[in-house]
């Protein structure tokens, strides 16, 4: 007699296998913001420039701004080059993330918390599944993210989520559903980004407020790339097609991507030298015991 949990696991594996067999990879490499994104709020503070090759978001005392992808995705690799707010960015947050909608939403976050001139940005990461987050890790970067564009990437496949900065892994969140840990795996998500005021918490816990004499604050985006499977709401399935078979052949490694030996060395370097908060070591926050995934996975 096959148990219910075993039967469910078999069905999940079968569904994933069928998904991979009948889906091909759509590679979006045009970096055309007109084609791939909509500016959704900000009353003109978000701008697409240079014939669709550059997007900027700005924040002043009246409002911030934001954009979202035209498509929803179910698994893929997302790359974006971002240059963050320069100078005194205290109180500001530049968010760049994948998210579904609703009270049980999934979400995979990069949030860049501004700081006083000369102090480092804090890169805040989080993973939500079925509406549950509280999986924060924070880092300082090993470069000034306001001087030039740097690439921030998310690899999301059925087995793991990998956060990368300039192709260096900084965090991995593994699929541990077999151990009772929920994982973002069945809700299609859009790409979102926004620049907004969060001076009640963003910088030193809200002690440092936004200096509006420095406004407008501006973040810039370019070279968006998505090797990803686009969700088709009409058929309620992932309907992937190829624009370039050469690109497909070169770009589909994300579906099974994991850390090789050099990747493991790099993530150890990042986490040893630049991690400033890890929920998996916060025993005061979890006096009844750390979350299950913290005890089951080496790199989170």
Residue environment code for 62-87, b if the CB has 16+ CB neighbours within 10 A, otherwise e: ebbbbbbbebbbbbbbbbbbbbbbbe
- Phi-psi map region of 121: left, alpha, beta (phi>0 left; psi -120 to 50 alpha): beta
* Residue 258: active-site member: no
What is the DSSP code string of 250-262?
Answer: HHGGGGG----HH
Beta-carbon contacts of 204 under 8 Å, excluding residues fewer than 6 positions away, are: none
Query: SS3 of 194, please?
Result: strand
* Closest among 37, 33, 203, 47 to 111, alpha carbons compared: 203
DSSP character for 298? S
**Among 72, 111, 177, 258, the one annotated catalytic:** 111
**Among 81, 107, 258, 293, the one annotated catalytic:** 107
Distance separating alpha carbons of residues 129 and 214, to the nearest angstrom: 37
Per 3-state DSSP, what percentage of the chain is helix, strand, and coil (rounded to 5)? 25, 35, 40
* Residue 293: active-site member: no
Determine phi and psi for 12, rounding to 5 degrees.
-65, -45
Residue environment code for 240-255, b if the CB has 16+ CB neighbours within 10 A, otherwise e: beeeeeebbeebbebb
Give the H or E element holding residue 75. Answer: strand 73-83
Query: SS3 of 50, please?
Result: helix
Active-site residues, by number, are 107, 111
């Amino acid at each position: 007699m096959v148990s219910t949990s075993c039967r469910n696991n078999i069905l999940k594996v079968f569904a994933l296998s069928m998904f991979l067999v009948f889906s091909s990879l759509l590679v979006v490499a045009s970096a055309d913001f007109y084609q791939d994104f909509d500016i959704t709020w900000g009353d003109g503070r978000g701008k697409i420039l240079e014939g669709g090759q550059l997007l900027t978001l700005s924040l002043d005392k009246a409002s911030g701004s934001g954009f979202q992808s035209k498509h929803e995705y179910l698994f893929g690799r997302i790359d974006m080059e971002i240059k963050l707010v320069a100078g005194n960015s205290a109180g500001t947050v530049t968010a760049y993330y994948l998210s579904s909608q609703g009270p049980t939403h999934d979400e995979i976050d990069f949030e860049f918390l501004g700081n006083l001139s000369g102090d480092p940005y804090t890169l805040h990461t989080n993973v939500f599944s079925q509406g549950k987050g509280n999986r924060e890790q924070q880092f300082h970067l090993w470069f000034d993210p306001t001087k030039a564009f740097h690439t921030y990437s998310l690899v999301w496949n059925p087995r793991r989520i990998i956060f990368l900065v300039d192709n260096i892994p900084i965090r991995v969140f593994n699929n541990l559903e077999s151990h009772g840990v929920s994982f973002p795996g069945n809700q299609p998500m859009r790409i979102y980004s926004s620049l907004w005021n969060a001076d009640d918490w963003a910088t030193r816990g809200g002690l440092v407020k936004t200096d509006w004499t420095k406004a407008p604050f501006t973040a810039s985006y370019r070279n968006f790339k998505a090797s990803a499977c686009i969700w088709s709401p009409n058929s309620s399935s992932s309907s992937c097609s190829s624009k370039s078979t050469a690109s497909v052949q070169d770009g589909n490694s994300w579906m099974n991507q994991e850390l090789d030996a050099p990747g493991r060395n790099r993530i150890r370097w990042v986490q040893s030298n630049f991690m400033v908060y890890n929920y998996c070591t916060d025993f005061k926050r979890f006096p009844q015991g750390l979350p299950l995934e913290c005890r089951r996975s080496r790199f989170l």
